[in-house]
A and B are shown apart, each in its own frame.
Chain A
Amino acid sequence: MSATTTIAPTVAAPPVGGLRKLVRDTHLVMTRELRPVLRDPFSVIFGMIQPLVFLALFGPLLVGSLGGQAQNTVGESVWQWFVPSILVMTALFGTTTVGANLLFEFQTGAHERMLVTPLSRPSLLIGRALKEMAPLAAQAVIIVAVMIPFGFTLYPIGALVGFALLAVFGVGVGSLSYSLAIAVRKQEWMFWAVQQTVIFPLMILSGMLLPLETGPGWMQVAAKFNPLTYLVNAERALFAGDVGSTAAAWGWVAALGTVAVGLVVGIRSMRRSAG
């Protein structure tokens, strides 16, 4: 080993207070989180294949199961109806599970180390949640690119706004997933139990995979109380080019509501995560 390294005292910049520090810290946490993803792109590519498999296998069955009614419920092209669903589903699977990464860092001690650094507590949450947008954007681009040859019509402005809406929603859901991880950190199995129990009713009651118009009345009522319903409807409107539609506006309400609740709950949890 080299004993010759003389180490000058590193005078670290005194922590700048307020928003500037929060932005800087958030950026640091986000880039740290992204680094393993960039170093190992194969894991991302694998994540991209799953939604495509779902499209290829579930899509045809959807048309078949609706029989002659497909025109009335899903519209003229099943892909126009189903591609936004798959995007939302991918975002939902991707962001509800991120808490597991934090649980892993609880286990190994990496999270504890970060809690003893000058990083602000909220940045540990916001940086992680924002990081989830990167794989999400990549997945969305691939899904759309693959589906265009199969008759999916792309409305670029609507699609971009759709991505943005999805990203906002994803940050909110990601924050809630991290909060769940922090809440159950002493009984880790609870994380998956809760995640699985919550995600499927939410998905089915949003009309994401199968149209609710053919379902019983109580399901349609329940769907009205599910924020995901508004998001799915908004994405369908946006991917059809209706940027200014009422459905899109309600989607923004749902997404902004989710992100507000997610961040408030998440930051509170992060502040208490050392105990």
Chain B
Amino acid sequence: MIRTRDLTKDFVVNRSKTVQAVRGISLDVEDGELIAVLGPNGAGKTTTMRMLTTLIEPTSGSATVAGHDVVTESARVRSLIGYVGQGNGAGHMQRAVDELYSQGLIYGLDRRAARRRAGELIEALDLTALATRKVSSLSGGQRRRLDVAMGLVHNPSLLFLDEPSTGLDPHNRANLWDHILQMRQHAAVPMTIMLTTHYLDEADSMAGRVVVVDNGQVIADDTAEALKADLAGDRVEVGLDGPARVADLAALIARLPGGRDVVIDGATVTGRVADGPRALPELVRAADRADLVVTSAQVFRPTLDDVFLSLTGRSLREAENGRSTDETRSPAA
């Protein structure tokens, strides 16, 4: 569905400064995948998406989207993909239903089909009571649902969502995703979705595949589960009745499958292991046999933030704060 090879994008800031927003991204996305591109602001995820949706041309490299080249066949690409950008697709001066109707006509539906399709989407995305309201009078969550409806007017087999839930509260975010997943299920052809996000939990829970982008490059690409298991691993934390024999406990943890990064803090020892839930009972039994008195024990499952940390040496949040000047989003967006 998507195939990119060594895709790059440079932005010329001024005569002496060029920002390399994307530095050689090669990516293959199969039909029906739900793929999240995760990374801090300025990592190049939006720039990549803008190239794939034909808004900007790559500096070098190639990209094929829905079977067509994004540069030489951009019109074909545009007629096949759905796009929900960071802003509001629906014009603020328009009524919600009018924008859906216009969008249908734009994609080649006749008037009756466009009217029917607008009605279907309004119902499917819970916008019935808002259909004749002006877009500017809708709440953020309602507007976002309308934007998604706009992107789905022509039943695209590929949908791009650029930070779909940024700015929404957790309730609205969950609600938006309910609708997106429902629409995906009901599509006649399995819909491929690519989204960018800097919400870890969104990438973790929604996407079948997570591509981690930093500094214009792909630094990891796998399922969220595999990324967490391979790159971060579980963490066990075990406390003893006193600090006297913590070194013995540390040695036991280091011997567990995948045991590493063992840290002693007072009477408590933490360490990374391959499979926390399985390792912990084993560890407690071994401690028992060694006459160590375990007073507390717990397992922490890794988050994608741990993945990012282990890949880059900094947490996603730090990365966000440190790079605000390299924001690659075009000011026009």
A interface residues, Cβ below 8 angstroms from B: 1-3, 5-10, 12-15, 25, 28, 31-32, 35-36, 39, 104-120, 185-186, 273-275
- Are A9 and B188 in contact, with the CB atoms below 8 A? yes
Contacts of B87 in A (CB 8 A): 107-110, 112-113
Determine the distance from Cα of A109 to Cα of B55 in the docked complex, in whole angstroms.
13
- Are A275 and B92 in contact, with the CB atoms below 8 A? no
Contacts of B78 in A (CB 8 A): 116-118
Partner of B92, one of A10, A12, A110, A112: A110
Which residue of chain A has its CB nearest to the CB of B153?
A10
Given A10-B154, A185-B332, A116:B55 Cβ within 8 A: yes
Given A108-B91, A112-B87, A273-B332, A118:B54 Cβ within 8 A: no
- Are A118 and B107 in contact, with the CB atoms below 8 A? yes
Partner of B106, one of A6, A7, A110, A118: A118
Given A28-B105, A104-B92, A117-B78, A10:B117 Cβ within 8 A: yes
Given A5-B124, A117-B106, A118-B78, A109:B182 Cβ within 8 A: no
Determine the distance from Cα of A34 to Cα of B137 in the docked complex, in whole angstroms.
19
- Are A2 and B123 in contact, with the CB atoms below 8 A? yes
Which residue of chain B has its CB nearest to the CB of A27?
B105
Q: How far is the CB of A132 from the nearest CB of chain B, in Å? A: 15
Determine the distance from Cα of A7 to Cα of B333 in the docked complex, in whole angstroms.
31
Stretch binding the partner chain, chosen from B15-23, B94-102, B218-226: B94-102
Closest A-B pairs by Cβ, 9 of them: A109-B87, A113-B89, A12-B108, A13-B108, A110-B91, A116-B83, A36-B93, A118-B79, A274-B55
Contacts of B182 in A (CB 8 A): 1, 3
B interface residues, Cβ below 8 angstroms from A: 50, 53-56, 75-76, 78-79, 81, 83, 85-95, 98, 102-103, 105-109, 113, 117, 120, 123-126, 147, 150, 153-155, 179, 182, 186-189, 330-333
Q: List 25 A-B contacts (CB under 8 A).
A: A1-B179, A2-B123, A7-B124, A7-B155, A8-B188, A12-B79, A12-B109, A14-B79, A14-B108, A25-B106, A28-B106, A32-B94, A35-B98, A36-B94, A108-B87, A109-B89, A110-B88, A112-B89, A112-B333, A117-B107, A119-B106, A120-B75, A274-B50, A274-B56, A275-B56
- Are A7 and B188 in contact, with the CB atoms below 8 A? yes
Contacts of B89 in A (CB 8 A): 109-110, 112-113
Given A2-B124, A13-B108, A273-B332, A112:B94 Cβ within 8 A: no
Which residue of chain A has its CB nearest to the CB of B84?
A113
Contacts of A35 in B (CB 8 A): 94-95, 98, 102
Determine the distance from Cα of A14 to Cα of B78 in the docked complex, in whole angstroms.
11
Contacts of B98 in A (CB 8 A): 32, 35, 39
| B94, B108, B147 pick with most chain A CB within 10 angstroms | B108
Contacts of B75 in A (CB 8 A): 15, 118, 120
- Are B186 and A7 in contact, with the CB atoms below 8 A? yes
Determine the distance from Cα of A189 to Cα of B308 in the docked complex, in whole angstroms.
40
- Are A7 and B187 in contact, with the CB atoms below 8 A? yes
Contacts of B54 in A (CB 8 A): 116
Contacts of A31 in B (CB 8 A): 102
Contacts of B106 in A (CB 8 A): 25, 28, 114, 117-119
- Are A15 and B188 in contact, with the CB atoms below 8 A? no
- Are B150 and A116 in contact, with the CB atoms below 8 A? no
Q: How far is the CB of B59 from the nearest CB of chain A, in Å? A: 12
Contacts of B331 in A (CB 8 A): 185-186
Which residue of chain B has its CB nearest to the CB of A182?
B332
- Are B150 and A12 in contact, with the CB atoms below 8 A? no
Contacts of B90 in A (CB 8 A): 110, 113
Contacts of A9 in B (CB 8 A): 155, 188-189
Which residue of chain A has its CB nearest to the CB of B117?
A10
Contacts of A110 in B (CB 8 A): 87-92
Contacts of A118 in B (CB 8 A): 75, 78-79, 106-108
Determine the distance from Cα of A208 to Cα of B182 in the docked complex, in whole angstroms.
61
- Are A39 and B95 in contact, with the CB atoms below 8 A? yes
- Are B186 and A6 in contact, with the CB atoms below 8 A? yes
Q: How far is the CB of A11 from the nearest CB of chain B, in Å? A: 9
Determine the distance from Cα of A68 to Cα of B182 in the docked complex, in whole angstroms.
79
- Are A1 and B124 in contact, with the CB atoms below 8 A? yes
- Are B186 and A3 in contact, with the CB atoms below 8 A? yes
Q: How far is the CB of A182 from the nearest CB of chain B, in Å? A: 9
- Are A115 and B88 in contact, with the CB atoms below 8 A? no
Partner of B332, one of A15, A28, A119, A186: A186
